A and B are shown apart, each in its own frame.
Chain A
Amino acid sequence: MSDAASLTLSAHNLSRRFGQREVIHDVSLELRRGEVLGLLGHNGAGKSTTLQMLTGALLPHAGQIKICGFDLALQPLQAKARIGFLPETPPLYREMQVDSYLKFAARLHRVPRTQITEALAETKRRCGLQGNDKKIIGTLSKGYQQRVGIAQALIHQPDVIILDEPTVGLDPAQIRDIRALIRELGDAHSVILSTHLLGEVESICDRVEIMHHGRLIYGDSSARMQQYGHQPGFIVTLLAAPELAELQAIAGVQQVEPLSATQFRILHTPDTDPGTVLLALAAQHGWQAKQLVPLQARLEDVFVQITENQ
């Protein structure tokens, strides 16, 4: 029961054609409260189309979408009131002032008139927009426009927040701020964000779905994704290095590759832990172990590996 209650978004078997070309095949997604889902994919994989369907901007040719139990096709007003959407291009009226734009967005999403001032102040605080009340949106920098776009998606406290490439075109400091904000949002709401930046997934998403040619080809927690097809290992620095054969002899070690006179990359079998053994040996023989860094599969590699497997 509680499981069904925490389910904020469920989409089943979505398909979408543009003309004769089918761009989305049979996509199903589920999202729970307090979850941040990253939708990964190459350019043109169908991420934006999927998100547009989830928000009701585009009707799917087949499939069903439910937002907090309301069917998007049958009860669009109730369902849409629970979604906040930031499209790829923020939908900003450039000639409007920040405040009046956000108030308009709030009214449009049926925030009660008495709560608008409060919602406005709270949203601006969250998005770091204080002091920009009367500025014309068109005169703001790209980063601030993006913030206004995000603010627009949050102002009615939606259950599901859908962000299409929220950090594109921002400077590193702004990216950090926005990621922190998304992480914070993920605690109380459900967030879906599409991106082709893998670092973003690594740092903020709980779960990853990879989209390729209009299909979801891989879905798992982002921590597990990093382990995908990955051979465990580490890089060790030994200032007084022994013979390669000595390292090779440690139980579980499969391959030793010298990177320099003092650095070695050691790959081992998944269930063993030759690291501790090696450190003990190093202390015993005076190899002067300096550093032992576990090999982290870079998400890029994993991503390429998964999409190429298809």
Chain B
Amino acid sequence: MIFTIAHKEFRSLFATPSTWLIMGALQFIFAWFFLARLDAFLQVQTQLAQLANAPGATQAVAAPLFGSIALVMMMLVPVFTMRLIAEERRNQTLTLLMTAPVSSMHIVLGKYLGLLLFLLLIIADCALMVLVLAAGTQLDIGLLLSNALGLLLLTASYAALGLYISSLTAQPVVAAITALATLFGLWLVEISAVDSDNAWRALAPTGHFQSFNAGLLNSADLVYFVLFSAAFLLLTIRRVHNNRIYG
């Protein structure tokens, strides 16, 4: 049942022209970042070659690219999560799901997985773009994978937060702005914490992405992302269930 809903969400995304537009624009921006990074790398490559233990192409091009994509995702994910439940509530299509023989958990997880599949597609696109470098140089596959995984976990936690906020309102735009503001706030918390061991820093998803970005698979960060997503998914399930109580 979860997959039926996930499949429908995924298909619905592609039924609206704006999705294609956003995907196209996104790919353009990412390619721009990528080429700018690559260009900068090529210019300093000769100097870098004289250093001992110089950063390779993956470290100098791919890692910063993924860092920028993480920021773009912060602004992008709310645009996709806003519709998930808020729009169904506004168009009164939520009734179809509520009266169907599916539980609130199925509804929430289905919607979450459908969106995640779509976001995975965007991340895979970027990974593919970076893989092009393999034609000219030796790539650090480990670093690339940890970046991709980190980005996936980061967007997954953004999506969970966005989904929850979408379940709170009947206005998609309100959901988008609230989710964006929340994510932006979390990011500000991270960058304004001067001390890197600051407890505030531990609160923000972006901070936990840093170690993935540097190629570190830190289990604490992994657990953070899983807990973050699970917590908001549980809250969403609760909220959708409450829909039956409060109308």
**Size range of the interface on B?**
20 to 34
Any chain B CB within 8 A of the CB of A78? Answer: yes
Any chain B CB within 8 A of the CB of A143? Answer: no
Any chain A CB within 8 A of the CB of B98? Answer: yes
From B99, B103, B245, contact of A83 by CB (8 A): B99
Contacts of A110 in B (CB 8 A): 1, 101
Contacts of B244 in A (CB 8 A): 56-59
Any chain A CB within 8 A of the CB of B92? Answer: yes
- B4 and A78 form a contact (CB under 8 A): no
Total A residues in contact with B, Cβ cutoff 8 Å: 31
Any chain A CB within 8 A of the CB of B12? Answer: yes
Provided the pairs A96-B12, A104-B4 are in contact, do residues A80 and B100 lie with their beta carbons within 8 angstroms? Answer: yes
As a 0/1 sequence over residues 83 to 110 of chain A, the CB contacts with chain B under 8 angstroms (1 = contact) are 1010101011111100010001101111
Chain B, interface SS category: helix
Any chain A CB within 8 A of the CB of B95? Answer: yes
From A80, A89, A92, A104, contact of B101 by CB (8 A): A80
- A108 and B102 form a contact (CB under 8 A): yes
- B95 and A57 form a contact (CB under 8 A): yes
Any chain A CB within 8 A of the CB of B220? Answer: no
A92 to B16, CA, bound (A): 15
Any chain B CB within 8 A of the CB of A175? Answer: no
Any chain B CB within 8 A of the CB of A222? Answer: no
From A77, A89, A108, contact of B4 by CB (8 A): A108
A45 to B94, CA, bound (A): 23
Interfacial residues of chain B within 85-144, with CB under 8 A of chain A in the complex: 91-103
A274 to B95, CA, bound (A): 56
A85 to B99, CA, bound (A): 7
- A95 and B15 form a contact (CB under 8 A): yes
- A109 and B247 form a contact (CB under 8 A): no
Most A C-beta atoms less than 10 A away, residue of B11, B91, B99, B247 = B99
Contacts of B16 in A (CB 8 A): 95
A205 to B4, CA, bound (A): 36
B residues with a Cβ closer than 8 A to A are: 1, 4-5, 8, 11-12, 15-16, 91-103, 244-245, 247
28 pairs across A/B with beta carbons < 8 Å?
A: A52-B95, A57-B95, A57-B98, A59-B244, A77-B102, A80-B101, A87-B95, A89-B91, A91-B93, A91-B96, A92-B91, A93-B12, A93-B91, A95-B15, A96-B11, A96-B12, A96-B15, A100-B11, A105-B96, A107-B4, A108-B4, A108-B5, A108-B96, A108-B100, A109-B101, A110-B1, A110-B101, A152-B96
